[in-house]
A = this chain, B = another copy of it.
Amino acid sequence: MQKSDENRKVDDSPARSRGRPRAFDREAALAQATRLFWIKGFEATSIADLTEAMGIGSPSLYAAFGSKEALYAEALRHYREDNEALVWAGFFSAGTAREAVKSLLMDSAAVLTGCVVDIPRGCMVTLSSVGSEGYVELGKLVRAARTVTLDRLKLRLNQAISGGEIPVSTDVHALARFIQTVQNGMSILARDGASRSELEAVAELAMLGWDTRTADAERGQG
């Protein structure tokens, strides 16, 4: 038995063998950083803000996360892991595309207004403007995260076509764009203080035209 190889925790554990262990909870610190980035944005959040909220010194921050940009990238990942399940669970468990989309919008209404758990308003990915500030890598990251919504919507709609739920003639891309637009718009309303019930009303109004939008016939009549 190759003891030295099999006993070492290669991937799961940090694999640190000797020396002083980290004194702070990395996950808790990351959660604080995520919250701060979420509320204030990347540029407006300073290292001083972060170290204060995380309860650590700046050398510890850099030792644990590398740089401010790398910390933001990890905060983004942490955010998506924590919150996308809240928004997408109903979408993936729904039996029809119609119910999936409605779940997505209704759950978004609840999560975006901070009604499910105590989190800031609006979507960190949607409202991030880090791409327009000259941070190229972070911009790519955020934009890639944004396309996930569109991809999932198109995939589900195509499945609905295959299953016969909606007609083959449905413009999947346009319909997915529409749903994405509504969800994005709800983020902005949530940030500006709109209530959960207001966003739910918006979601229901968006769903009201579903049958018309998924009908075969003429589209551009208005």
A219 to chain B: closest residue by CB: B204
**Interface residue A41 (Cβ < 8 Å from any Cβ of B):** yes
Contact A202 B188 (CB under 8 A): no
Contact B205 A98 (CB under 8 A): no
Contact A177/B206 with A133-B44, A222-B98 known, Cβ cut-off 8 Å:
no
Contact B134 A40 (CB under 8 A): yes
Interface residues of A in 180-200 (CB under 8 A from B): 180-189, 191-192, 194, 198
Contact A189/B198 with A39-B132, A98-B222 known, Cβ cut-off 8 Å:
no
Name A41's contact: one of B132, B191, B198 (CB within 8 Å).
B132
A127 to chain B: closest residue by CB: B129
Contact A181/B210 with A43-B43, A192-B146 known, Cβ cut-off 8 Å:
no
Contact A180 B189 (CB under 8 A): yes
Nearest-neighbour CB distance to chain B for A148, whole angstroms, equals 13
Nearest-neighbour CB distance to chain B for A44, whole angstroms, equals 4
Contact A181 B186 (CB under 8 A): yes
Question: Can you name 17 extra interface pairs (CB under 8 A) apart from A40-B132, A171-B201, A185-B188?
Answer: A41-B43, A41-B129, A41-B133, A44-B132, A98-B222, A102-B222, A132-B191, A174-B198, A177-B189, A177-B194, A177-B201, A178-B205, A181-B189, A182-B185, A206-B209, A208-B209, A209-B213
A positions within 8 Å CB-CB of B: 39-41, 43-44, 98, 102, 126-127, 129, 132-134, 143, 146, 171, 173-175, 177-178, 180-189, 191-192, 194, 198, 201-202, 204-213, 219-220, 222
